[in-house]
Structure 1
Amino acid sequence: MTIADETHRFALSAEELASFRERGYFGPFKVYEIDQMRETWRRERLALMDRSAAVYQDEAATSGNTNIANYDRHLDMAFLAEHILRPQITDRVASVLGPDVLCWRTEFFPKYPGDEGTDWHQADTFANASGTPQILWPDEAKDFGGTITVWTAFTEANEDNGCLQFIPGSHQQMHYDETKRMHYDPAGINARDKEGVRRGFFGYDYRELQVDPDWKPDESKAVSMVMRPGEAIMFWSTLMHASHPHSGRTDEMRLGFAARYVPTSVRVYPDTDAIEEYGGRVSLDRYGVVLVRGDDRFGHNRLTDRTTRGHQFRRD
């Protein structure tokens, strides 16, 4: 299978690519006009409530009580299916990952007035919550790891309502051991203070994974990713990142939509038929990765044709 009409007009320049490799992130950059994003989200937020075609119909997803409920709506919503293919995004991702690219997961990240900030964290295999790797790079590329995340602001994102924070250059060394297991405690949500800031990780404490229990991220180097609606930021998941708390001084929710990309050589959800994390479990029976650029010459993963009603799977 080949994705056609690849003009690469948004590809990173040599200077931009060098900066990305040094800092671990690129952007913000425009994907939509501000008014276009605002109008689109007013429409799509209503469609989001209809889960009749969502790939995860398990109780953990349909109840909405775990973060899994926010996963992979690009597989049943036409707007999100188109979003992950936009050349403003995929041209830049392919500049880093090469010509053959999969989207393996998307997630909504809402932050409501009064919500805590997100813990400083890094993700390599995404075994952080379950203890089981969700992505595995081939042995010859094991020093790379992680995924490229493109986080798009569907609303205003600023320091007052909980925008992202990065520590530039921190993607070069992992400070967390994802083979450890964090303990899920939903009662801890919005209830912890860390270094004077209310932070958590959706019911987990990410510090439990630290290689050195006494290590602390150098927050003096942190930068805040203030973004307008329709802007996106691209970063390695191994980059130290977090978010500010929502101060509650505005009643507007902050909403980000994260699309995660890997080369076709990466194995997604290897040797498992379910996602188990955040106190829930959902079946992968209806799940498939999306080929967004190039060819899949490996056949490691089940591909899906995106439709708004039903799903067709195949290996190419």
Structure 2
Amino acid sequence: MQDTRTQGAFAMTPEELEGFHARGYFGPFKVYEIDEMRAMWRRERLRLLDRSHAVYQDEAAASGNTNISNYDRHLDSPFLADHISRPPIVDRVSSVLGPDVLCWRTEFFPKYPGDEGTDWHQADTFANASGQPQIVWPEAEEFGGTITVWTAFTEANEETGCLQFIPGTHQTMFYDETKRMHYDPNKINNQEKGGVRRGFFGYDYRELQIDPDWKPDESKAVSMVMRPGEAILFWSTLMHASKPHAGLTDEMRLGFAARYVPTKVRVYPGTDEIEEYGGRVSLERYGSVLVAGHNDNPHNRMATATTTGHPFVTR
């Protein structure tokens, strides 16, 4: 018997699920109206400048000098705390992962005028930068990864640096995450990769390739053009990248990625810190958020409210 807890108003239909399993992504779909998203972001971006309640207060994160500064602001921002539990998102995530779901990480992905594109990449355990697995599925599971819901807070199009996917690549890993990439914060990566100027936040993702001579087939790439308030749902193991920001507008492209796993997955096992992008932050104040169902996994740190006392909603 199908678990009716997965049947919210925005649950994916059998046809939508079939397409998702074939392609590795679903959407775009609407989370907010365009004007609503624009108004909310004008307000919230000013509030997010205040990091006094952020869970990561270490120097590297607080200074904004590493990508870690963009992590997990849902743990202090009421707006982002509510966003990760919105029914248009959680209902669809639960359609894929089942009724018991955690949000274990969120990240901002800004792209400013003139910024390079992001390298093609996949993520299974998210050990790609540190060498330390950040999520671990039960041994009985053949494959892992996370469901990412990437919401456009601004225009995301061919000119501002939208996401790109290579459909159907989510069931084969082309990278070995047990390798270590070498971080160089001063690296300016202007190499033309497949005719596009791409990099990876101070890393070269090609260092993780299982076959050093392999290249992604960019002829099969599709661009995810999204208006403000739209989102796309995809497996982190799907080959994905982004285009450069052409600089034809002064507005940055901003995406907000929320990452989800079933409660049976272990989050940050055996570690009390995140080490990557040249920074190191403590997980002392971190907690995963139950966004749907029940949690019977005693191994994960959990948060029931933001650091400012705003309660998380469980669907």
CA RMSD of aligned residues (A): 1.4
CA distance, structure 2, for counterparts of residue 38 and residue 26 of structure 1 = 23
Q: 1:41 to 1:238 in 2, by over 3 A?
A: same
DSSP 3-state at the match of 1:61? helix
The correspondence of residues 59-78 of structure 1 with structure 2, limited to 5 A, is 59-78=59-78
Deviation at residue 144 of structure 1 after TM alignment = 2.3
Q: Is the 8 A contact 1:275 1:284 kept in 2?
A: yes
Query: What are the Cα deviations for residues 47-86 of structure 1, in whole angstroms up to 9, with x where unaligned?
Result: 0100010000001100100000000000000000000000
CA distance, structure 1, for counterparts of residue 310 and residue 278 of structure 2 = 27
Question: Are 2:215 and 1:197 aligned?
Answer: no
Q: 1:39 to 1:311 in 2, by over 3 A?
A: closer
Q: Is the 8 A contact 1:286 1:311 kept in 2?
A: no
Tell me which residue corresponds to 1:16: 16
Tell me which residue corresponds to 1:111: 111
Deviation at residue 7 of structure 1 after TM alignment = 6.2
CA distance, structure 2, for counterparts of residue 53 and residue 165 of structure 1 = 34
Q: Is the 8 A contact 1:115 1:190 kept in 2?
A: no
Tell me which residue corresponds to 1:290: 289
Q: Is the 8 A contact 2:31 2:89 kept in 1?
A: yes
Deviation at residue 244 of structure 1 after TM alignment = 0.1
CA distance, structure 1, for counterparts of residue 281 and residue 246 of structure 2 = 33
Deviation at residue 306 of structure 1 after TM alignment = 1.9
Question: Are 2:34 and 1:34 aligned?
Answer: yes
Q: Is the 8 A contact 1:11 1:91 kept in 2?
A: yes
Query: What are the Cα deviations for residues 80-125 of structure 1, in whole angstroms up to 9, with x where unaligned?
Result: 0000000100000000000000000000000000000000000000
Query: What are the Cα deviations for residues 18-62 of structure 1, in whole angstroms up to 9, with x where unaligned?
Result: 100000000000000000000000000000100010000001100
Deviation at residue 309 of structure 1 after TM alignment = 1.6
Query: What are the Cα deviations for residues 235-277 of structure 1, in whole angstroms up to 9, with x where unaligned?
Result: 0000000000001111110000000000000000000000000
Percent identity, aligned pairs only? Answer: 79
Query: What are the Cα deviations for residues 105-152 of structure 1, in whole angstroms up to 9, with x where unaligned?
Result: 0000000000000000000000000011000000111x2200000000
CA distance, structure 2, for counterparts of residue 101 and residue 290 of structure 1 = 8
The correspondence of residues 85-234 of structure 1 with structure 2, limited to 5 A, is 85-141=85-141, 143-234=142-233
Provide the TM-score with structure 2 as the length reference: 0.95
CA distance, structure 1, for counterparts of residue 28 and residue 191 of structure 2 = 30
CA distance, structure 1, for counterparts of residue 206 and residue 66 of structure 2 = 20
DSSP 3-state at the match of 2:60? helix
Q: Is the 8 A contact 1:109 1:256 kept in 2?
A: yes
Deviation at residue 311 of structure 1 after TM alignment = 9.1
Q: Which amino acid aligns with 2:270?
A: D
CA distance, structure 1, for counterparts of residue 115 and residue 188 of structure 2 = 9
CA distance, structure 1, for counterparts of residue 22 and residue 99 of structure 2 = 21
Q: Is the 8 A contact 1:189 1:202 kept in 2?
A: no
Query: What are the Cα deviations for residues 181-223 of structure 1, in whole angstroms up to 9, with x where unaligned?
Result: 0000122245333233210110000000000000000000000
Q: 1:178 to 1:74 in 2, by over 3 A?
A: same
DSSP 3-state at the match of 1:140? coil
CA distance, structure 2, for counterparts of residue 250 and residue 54 of structure 1 = 31
CA distance, structure 1, for counterparts of residue 247 and residue 140 of structure 2 = 47
Provide the TM-score with structure 1 as the length reference: 0.95
The unaligned stretches of length 5 or more in structure 2 are none
CA distance, structure 2, for counterparts of residue 38 and residue 208 of structure 1 = 38
Query: Which runs of structure 1 show a deviation greater than 6 angstroms over 4 or more consecutive aligned residues?
Result: none
Q: Is the 8 A contact 2:118 2:199 kept in 1?
A: yes
CA distance, structure 2, for counterparts of residue 134 and residue 6 of structure 1 = 26
DSSP 3-state at the match of 2:103? strand
